[in-house]
Amino acid sequence: MVLKDIMAISGEPGLFKFIAQGKNSIVVEHLETKKRSSAFGSAKVSSLEEISVFTEKEDMPLSKVFDLIFEKENGGPAPDHKADPEKLKEYLNEVLPSYDREKVYVSDIRKLVHWYNILHSLGLLIKEEPEKPAEAPEATEAPGAKAPEEKEEKPAAEAPQAKKKKAGEKAAPARKKSTKTREKE
């Protein structure tokens, strides 16, 4: 899932979308109500892209967990986040059997399921497509020939640099201070 620019703000319900960077804050828009507000430096703002779930081996990014839920539900919504804690634990065990049961609390599972359902209801659960390598243009010229747009790079010794004083050269004369500056001294 692509979670770029989607954030959670501690103490605020729901999810937010990053809009702009201010001087001492960021401007965000609530995903459900579309109200814009500022999140100041004192607020704990977390990008969903940076959140991961503890597993027994290594942490799994939230986007991958959302992908697993999406596959399990065949593109449908997840169970209600207010369900019985034991049902939520069983659900996450079905989705991600290797999650760390000591580090992942029921409150974390509630947030995860709630965030998934918010994104699902707004149609923001977009699968990440693996980047395809750029196709190389077919070589029509003889081997060793350079393409016309390529430029030959000069070695560092030949590259233009700031003029340095050569041995035996006199330094440029110092600039004289203006008469106003001399009068103050």
Q: Is the pLDDT of residue 6 over 80?
A: yes
Q: Which residues contact 152 (CB under 8 A, 6 or more apart)?
A: 146
Pinpoint the residues of the chain covered by CATH 2.30.30.730.
Answer: 6-48
Q: Which of 50, 48, 53, 47 is nearest to 68 (CA)?
A: 53
- Average pLDDT on 50-56 reads 92
Specify the pLDDT at position 27.
Answer: 93
Determine the Cα–Cα distance for residues 34 and 118; give it in Å rounded to an integer.
Answer: 13
CATH of 52-121, one of 3.20.20.70, 3.40.50.150, 1.10.10.1650, 3.30.1330.20: 1.10.10.1650
Specify the pLDDT at position 76.
Answer: 86
Q: Is the pLDDT of residue 140 over 70?
A: no
Specify the pLDDT at position 141.
Answer: 46
Q: Is the pLDDT of residue 174 over 90?
A: no
Ranges 61-65, 79-83, 97-101, 130-134: which has the least confidence: 130-134
Determine the Cα–Cα distance for residues 184 and 161; give it in Å rounded to an integer.
Answer: 38
More confident residue, 128 or 83: 83
Specify the pLDDT at position 159.
Answer: 44
CATH of 6-48, one of 2.30.30.730, 2.40.50.140, 3.40.190.80, 3.90.1170.30: 2.30.30.730
Model confidence, pTM: 0.66
Distances (CA, A) of 159 to 22, 73, 146, 178: 40, 60, 21, 37
Distances (CA, A) of 9 to 40, 44, 147: 10, 6, 51
Confidence of residue 169 (pLDDT cuts 50, 70, 90): low
For 20, the 3-state DSSP assignment is strand
Rounded to 10 deg, the angle between the 106-121 and 62-72 helix axes is 70
More confident residue, 162 or 80: 80
Q: Is the pLDDT of residue 29 over 60?
A: yes
Instruction: Give the pair of three-digit tokens for residue 61.
Output: 């990014």
Q: Is the pLDDT of residue 96 over 60?
A: yes
Q: Which of 25, 5, 24, 23 is nearest to 15 (CA)?
A: 5
Pinpoint the residues of the chain covered by CATH 1.10.10.1650.
Answer: 52-121
Ranges 17-21, 87-91, 110-114, 180-184: which has the least confidence: 180-184
Q: Which residues contact 100 (CB under 8 A, 6 or more apart)?
A: 54, 55, 56
